[in-house]
Structure 1
Amino acid sequence: MELQDQKHFLIRMQITLADKITEMEPNALGRPTTVNVMASMKEGKIVKFMFGTSVRCGIATRTITKGMVYRNNQLIAKSRAANIPILLWCRKNIVLTEKELKTCDYPWGNCAEWAPLQAMHERKKSQKHHAILWSQTYNIKDNFL
């Protein structure tokens, strides 16, 4: 299969995954907003691939408030970010002013791309190797690539 055909196949599977997620959780507030597929290529062929989703953990109910859902989502994103080396490096090496620190509350571990990127990265300290990565993110809410 040619590289373009492999990519098209993965995109179809990505959209199928998004459709299955939508079927499992019909309430848009309770499901991820994006699904990502990332592939590692070697010699013009896809050798590995992985899907990831943005963080979303539930919807408000009688016993769970919107604030609780928001805090849980934040905790999950922070946990993801704390375990991904490149995000740790960024947090340690990017200098922000006081004003920027107060306004920059983005949950860095929330992105659908982070888990696949970490899995595909696989850098060993004793070895340097390069990988060609291809990534495609699908917005479930808007049905948009």
Structure 2
Amino acid sequence: MEISTILPILFIVAMDVILFVIDRRNKIIFRGRNKYGIIVPVMVAVFIVVTIASKSFVLNAYNIILLIAILPIAVLGNKSGLTEKGILLNSYVAIWQKIESYSLDEEASRYVLLYKTNAGVRRIYFKKENIEEVRKYLSRAINYKHYRR
């Protein structure tokens, strides 16, 4: 194998390892859902299908290793919810001290947690069944002065 074939595989495997470590370190207490959480798995699936369907696709070891290395990206790094350290959204943890304000509002058949950090305003959706427990957990984790009605 040449260096031009080894570098993409190393980059993808390193990304897989980093996403796996982030997911393992941040145990989710209350699982949430990102509004656009389905985009990454769909993009990975479309990429694999287009790659296999292309006329220039050759079934060799390099292509098989590359396609297998890309598969974990579809499921890793796509989790959202509340953790002990902060709010996890797509493998990015906003720690409790960095959250400037938050609000918990009802939307149709679910609740949305809007929180503001220096990176902007983010949203996580929760099921109605867990909302009281989520409120209690947020009141303990974040100071009440940040809550905005």
Common topology (TM > 0.5): no
**TM score, norm. by length of structure 1:** 0.26
Q: Which has the higher strand share?
A: 2
More relative contact order, 1 or 2 (CA 8 Å, 6+ apart):
1
**TM score, norm. by length of structure 2:** 0.25
